[in-house]
Amino acid sequence: MSFVEYGDTIKDGDTAIVFLGHESMFPVKVQHGTVTQTKYGVIRHSTDLIGKKYGSKVTCSKGGWVFILHPTPELWTMNLPHRTQILYSTDISVITMMLELKPGSIVCESGTGSGSLSHALIRTVAPTGHLYTVEFHQQRAEKAREEFREHGVEHLVTVTNQDVCKNGFGVSNIADAVFLDIPSPWEAIGHAKSALKAEGGRICSFSPCIEQVQRTCLAMEEHGFTEINTLEILLRVYNVRTISLQIPDLGKAAEDNSSTGFDSSNPSNRGSPSTNLQQGTVQFKSGMPLREMVGHTGYLTFATKS
């Protein structure tokens, strides 16, 4: 199993996603002799998982069932253990595009955190690219190395435990792109410039506060970066549902309608617009925004090395 190479069959040691529903799923490490408890009952790894195909429908001990999915960066972002606040797919997709990443790209990242963005970057630059990721916190760096090894992508990533603001990324003049997600990104702009290739490399900085953005933009200008711009990505979700609206009283038009002999009890008329003349309402499908939405996550500042 690898996050960048698809496999058909579930094997011992794989990380799999147990899918109970669109709002309910979790990761599990497949191991011989292990069981996993769900609200539908027990899943026995030896008999229910190992040797089965990814995507299989597995019946639990209580008679309920779940699907076992192959892990992807998108599913991992939704289910990973949080060691820090993470980036989600909305921001990740824009970062990947605006940094102009592709297979073979060399990327530097700081900090690694919970590895949400890291997995997406690795999948994007595979099979010939590489990710150099720097994490200040030693335990988080060690945990990230362990996860990358379990997920079969350790050959595509190098994890370094150091302070990027003082010591940089450990590479020079090779990176196609640099990503910063640290409290004081303006202190690392010089090291980012040194890590980027001679000309045309892209940089992105993620910051939750506009004051951080202001200082970062000033530092980018001082180091000769061009095309500096800041984006804020907001996700608005809609529910598609059936709603009812009253039919307006159009006076004479309504009388003309009745004079035409329209009979709502006639089966041939029931398939016409979903109207109920007795109640004076019409029903139709509509997209309604949620009353609450995920608002500000952070500002994304992009620039190009001149």
Binding residues for S-adenosyl-L-methionine: 114-117, 135, 163, 181
Cα gap 294→15, rounded to integer Å:
29
Could you give the maximum distance between any two Cα atoms of the chain, in Å? 85
Q: Using alpha carbons only, what angle is made at residue 101 by residues 100 and 103, rounded to the nearest 5 degrees?
A: 140
Distance from C-alpha of 216 to C-alpha of 189, rounded to nearest angstrom: 8
What's the rounded Cα separation, in Å, for the pair 133 and 179?
9
DSSP structure string for 36-52: EEETTEEEEIIIIITTS
Neighbours of 123 (CB within 10 A): 20
E-state strands within the chain: 15-21, 24-29, 35-38, 41-44, 57-59, 65-69, 106-110, 130-135, 157-161, 177-180, 202-207, 225-232, 238-246, 275-276, 281-289, 299-305
The CA distances from residue 192 to 219, 221, 260, 295, in Å, are 11, 13, 76, 29
* Rounded Cα distance, 36 and 138, in Å: 30
Query: CA 304 to CA 51: how far, in whole Å?
Result: 48
CA–CA gap between residue 76 and residue 289 (Å, rounded): 26
Binding residues: 114-117, 135, 163, 181
Sheet of 299-305: strand order equals 157-161, 130-135, 106-110, 177-180, 202-207, 299-305, 225-232
Residue 276, classed as helix, strand or coil, is strand
Q: Tell me how far apart the alpha carbons of residues 121 and 156 are, in angstroms, rounded to a whole number.
A: 10
